[in-house]
Structure 1
Amino acid sequence: MEFRALCLLTLLGLLLVEPGFGQDGDMYIPNWLKDKVDLITNVGEKLKDVEALEARLNATVDELARQKTEVDRLSKENEGLQARLNATEKEIDALKQNGTKGGPQIAFSASLANSGEIYKGPCVDKTLVFKRVFSNIGNGYDPNTGVFTASVNGLYYFTFSTYGYNTHVMGAILMKEGVRQISTYDNLSDDGSDSSSNSVVLQLATGDKVYMELWDNGRVFDNHNGHTTFSGFLVFPA
């Protein structure tokens, strides 16, 4: 608007100092006035263009300011994410080091049948001996007795599955030092066979023994497909 006012004042000055104004011999006044009106009109149009450009410039400046604010926000957010990522990587490295530097590694997994087919039970010695050993890290599981012995104090995870037919009670009991912990169970039924599983986390002291037992008058079945299994591992020392 200041530029427009300046242009108008300049034009007014030209009108006032125009030579020969009012002298018919030197200038034809109507033509002179028309020229000035055309000039003013042209200047007005140019001023409109200038105002439009000024508005667009202001809008561009506002958009750039908004984008800068957004970039600053994203930059700060990225710094926070990078800090969290660095902290997570440090925690992972620490866990890896703890897991590889002398930490106890204990895990086992086995199924009942080492070969052929096995029907176990009913029997007086109800302890299930899982002969087919898939893994036995730390040698905590004894495939000759079916007993797992804790080598360190800690929390241990155990899981097992049982399979059997409807001629007998099907299922087994997870025992810790001769005390029942959890079990699977299925009574005589009309269906041909049954399977089930269970799992638990137990606090064990060094030397504690964990094993599987049949129910009284119970029976389970297994073959090379590994229907009846027993597995466990150390979650962490405690």
Structure 2
Amino acid sequence: MTVIQQVSGNRMKIIMFFPLLLLVCSVSADQTETAVQQSCPQDIHAVLRELTASLAVQNERITVLQRENQEQAAKLESQKTETDQLKQQLQVKQVAFSASLLETGSGHTGPFNTQITLIFRHVVTNIGNAYNPQTGIFTAPVRGVYHFVWTILGLDGGVAAAVLFRNGEHIFLAYEQQTSGGVSGSHGASLLLEVGDQVSVRLWKDAKIYDNVNHHNTFSGHLIFTM
């Protein structure tokens, strides 16, 4: 039973006691009319004053307890929210992915007269499902520092280049140029990402890269630590 219920019970007892007091006074009047006529009114007024004071105290206690209960409920709700957020953070602490450009087959990608987002479709690892193989975009599920690495292969001359982007920001460029044969390049970066930040690799304008079953062109990343 709560304290408020106990206080409410006391109020009920007080209310029930008043009619009983009147009955006692009435009975006493039949037995000793003269004495009761002198004492009962005074006793009733005294009891009424005590009851009024007691009820005021009880009402004040109920108000205080109700306010304390509301404050406690608000604290519990806040603690529940913090606990849920902590659980969510713990669940997304394991984030890592690695993918290569072509799922099957072989061939060149590019050149194009503008930058395009490379879609690395052959997914080897995607812990946390933060990388989308349909768009080629990694979306940060939690605020923290992430490390990314990407590699490219150029074949049969020309420029092979790809740049890492965070949202719309150019970060680092992996660039190689050859007159014949093949050449490969790679680059890496550690980035502080907010929740929802997007990271992708874009093929450089007028560049081309070659891939086959050996999966030369790759994009990988993982969460180092949360912040």
TM-score after normalising by structure 1: 0.55
User: Alpha-carbon deviations, 1:165-195, whole Å to 9, x = none?
Assistant: 24321021011111111121112424x1110
In structure 1, the residue matched to 2:95 is 106
In structure 2, the residue matched to 1:180 is 170
In structure 2, the residue matched to 1:206 is 195
Structure whose residues are more often strand by fraction: 2
Write the letter of the residue equivalent to 1:107: A
What RMSD in Å do the two structures reach over aligned CA positions?
Answer: 1.9
In structure 2, the residue matched to 1:141 is 131
Structure 1 unmatched runs, 5+: 1-100
CA 143–118 in structure 1, closer or farther in 2 if over 3 Å, else same: farther
Distance 2:100 2:218 in 1: 4
Deviation at 1:218, TM superposition (A): 0.5
The alignment partner of 2:213 has SS state of coil
Say whether the 8 Å CA contact 1:119–1:220 is kept in structure 2.
Answer: yes
- The answer as to 2:147 corresponding to 1:161 is no
In structure 1, the residue matched to 2:109 is 120
Say whether the 8 Å CA contact 1:166–1:189 is kept in structure 2.
Answer: yes
- The answer as to 2:175 corresponding to 1:189 is no
The equivalent position to 2:206 in structure 1, one of 208, 211, 217, is 217
The alignment partner of 2:206 has SS state of coil
Kindly report structure 1 stretches of 4+ aligned residues shifted beyond 4 Å.
Answer: none
Deviation at 1:103, TM superposition (A): 5.7
TM-score after normalising by structure 2: 0.58
- The answer as to 2:120 corresponding to 1:130 is yes
Q: Greater CA radius of gyration, 1 or 2?
A: 1
The equivalent position to 2:219 in structure 1, one of 221, 225, 230, is 230
Say whether the 8 Å CA contact 1:170–1:220 is kept in structure 2.
Answer: yes
Distance 2:193 2:93 in 1: 14
